[in-house]
Amino acid sequence: MSRAHIKRLYGESRVAAVLGAQWGDEGKGKIVDTLTAEANLVIRYGGGANAGHTIFVNGRKVVTHIIPSGAIRPNTLNIIGPGVACGLDVLSKEVKEVADVSGSRVVIDRSTPIVHPIHRWFDVAREANGGGIGTTQRGIGPAYEDMFSRRGSVRAADLLNPDKIEAALTAGGYYAERRAAAESYLASNVKLPAFPSLTDVVADLMQYREFVRPRLADTREIVWEAVEKRQCILFEGAQGVMLDVFNGSSPHTTSSLCGAAGIRATYGNLPITSVIGVAKAYATRVGGGPFPTELKGPEGDLLRELGNEYGATTGRPRRCGWLDLVALRYAVRMGEITHLVVTKLDTLVEFATKQGLPTPLGVHYNFELRRIGRNETLTSRVQRDSVVEYDLHSLPSSVLDESSALHPSVSSYLKRIQDAAGVPIAAVGTGPERDQLIFL
Ligand code: IMP
């Protein structure tokens, strides 16, 4: 792809975002990698080490979870924003493996909430106790809970001073209350690690003090200055709009804002011209929650094998199904998406060929004798109890025709997606390699 294509994707203001338009794992990595070639700043604005992303550093495959993807490029400044729930164990490891190798810089906002051992303990305990929703157990939900409850939340700048950490953990009776809650989990039959003492928690955080110290920054200032200088700025989303804490199917969501609102929540009203929503040509979901177009049984198993649909963070098999245009249109609206990138067309075509059947696209839900599909909030109940109506598409055995253009039947499948979503498709992924991305 040319620099002109990339610049066009950044749009007039040179501020762009790439985010998931489904339930995460849409293959954002490839388009993010492409855009980082022109980026001055790359910012992770939400989520934490619950995301998973496979990148190549000096030809070596590395699975990253939190470091911004610009870190593989020496000339980028990479930011962990104030909306991230930051696990320093994972971040420090990834900085060593990626940024220190490439020579790029990573900074952390002074106010970024830090995931601490109590957060991880409760994430594990709740899942083990049978009351969980299938989280990644990285402590993300409990870290955001404490940030919003304004108790027990340690911020990146607090690491410079152990007294501040201790104060944050004890104010309002936080630690004593958490320990009492932990005792009731420990009293049940579930096997759990010992609950960390206050000293353990402070010591755990203090081991990252020298890592954090030179990397602390006021990143709001940095971002707005870069806007004034008309630099290229890329916001990198985590998870997907259908897992957004406000707009996803509660309670089966992550605990952060996955759409463009997550950027504005912490950086204000930036002039973002391009919000690129990434969607697979089919759909996947990890963890619990409604998935109306899910393919269960051998069909779902085959799609999982062909697409290698296993979680990059937890290794869990992903649930697989057809592309759901009702959910996609909703994600476009809620995520403020201006363009789509559709990935893994090659996997869908291979699956269709093996099946020898037309490929369904979910276009409406029938719920309580009503046909819905527009302007409807996708509640868990609607998603669970509705019957999906499908359009059928005959796909060819190869995405490209003899002249290496998109096969006309693939183009009509894409046109149906674009019409339903209401925004243009800017590019499509036709294979696993970096250059297997066609700009439309
Ligand atoms: P948490 O974000 O670890 O609290 O998990 C909450 C839900 O979000 C679970 O269903 C997870 O499987 C899902 N989730 C979190 N991160 C990702 C991701 O990067 N890709 C896909 N699903 C995710």
Residue 349 above 90 pLDDT? yes
From ligand 1's centre to the CA of 317, what distance in Å? 13
53 is catalytic: yes
Confidence band of 432 (pLDDT split at 50, 70, 90): confident
Altogether, the residues listed in the chain come to a count of 440
Q: Compute and round to an integer the Cα radius of gyration of the chain.
A: 22
Q: What is the pLDDT of residues 239-277, one digit of tens each?
A: 999 999 999 988 999 999 999 999 999 999 999 999 999
Percent of the chain's residues with pLDDT above 90:
82
Ligand 1 pocket member 25 (CB < 6 A):
yes
Q: What is the pLDDT of residues 162-208, one digit of tens each?
A: 999 999 999 999 999 999 999 999 998 778 999 999 999 999 999 99
Query: What's the whole-model pTM score?
Result: 0.95
Ligand 1 pocket member 85 (CB < 6 A):
no
Ligand 1 pocket member 69 (CB < 6 A):
no
From ligand 1's centre to the CA of 3, what distance in Å? 33
pLDDT, position 1: 64
When pLDDT is averaged across residues 358-387 and rounded to a whole number, the result is 82
Phi, psi of 272 (to 5 degrees): -90, 115
For residue 196, give the DSSP letter.
Answer: P
Contact residues for 362 (Cβ-Cβ < 8 A; gap 6+)? 292, 293, 322, 323, 324, 325, 326, 327, 388, 389, 390
Ligand 1 pocket member 244 (CB < 6 A):
no
pLDDT, position 227: 97
Residue 377 above 80 pLDDT? no
Q: Which atom of ligand 1 is nearest to the CA of 238?
A: 19
Q: Which atom of ligand 1 is nearest to the CA of 314?
A: 12
The pair of three-digit structure tokens given for residue 108, joined into one six-digit string = 């952390």
When pLDDT is averaged across residues 219-234 and rounded to a whole number, the result is 98
Residue 286 above 90 pLDDT? yes
The pair of three-digit structure tokens given for residue 324, joined into one six-digit string = 């759901």
**Ligand 1 pocket test target in 25, 286, 313 with most atoms within 8 Å of CB:** 286
From ligand 1's centre to the CA of 284, what distance in Å? 12
Ligand 1 pocket member 26 (CB < 6 A):
no
Ligand 1 pocket member 240 (CB < 6 A):
no
For residue 79, give the DSSP letter.
Answer: E
Q: Which atom of ligand 1 is nearest to the CA of 243?
A: 8
Confidence band of 376 (pLDDT split at 50, 70, 90): low
Average pLDDT over the chain reads 94
Q: What is the pLDDT of residues 381-393, one digit of tens each?
A: 777 788 999 999 9
Residue 184 is inside which H or E element, if any?
helix 174-187
Q: Cα(124)–Cα(101) distance, rounded to whole angstroms? A: 33
From ligand 1's centre to the CA of 85, what distance in Å? 13
Q: Cα(154)–Cα(115) distance, rounded to whole angstroms? A: 8
When pLDDT is averaged across residues 410-421 and rounded to a whole number, the result is 97
Residue spans of alpha helices (H) in 279-370: 298-307, 325-335, 345-355
Taking every pair of Cα atoms in the chain, the longest distance, rounded to a whole number of angstroms, is 69
The type of residue at 41 is L
**Ligand 1 pocket test target in 54, 119, 239, 255 with most atoms within 8 Å of CB:** 239
123 is catalytic: no
From ligand 1's centre to the CA of 409, what distance in Å? 34
Residue 39 above 70 pLDDT? yes
When pLDDT is averaged across residues 117-133 and rounded to a whole number, the result is 92
pLDDT, position 435: 80
Catalytic-labelled residue, pool 53, 65, 252, 407: 53
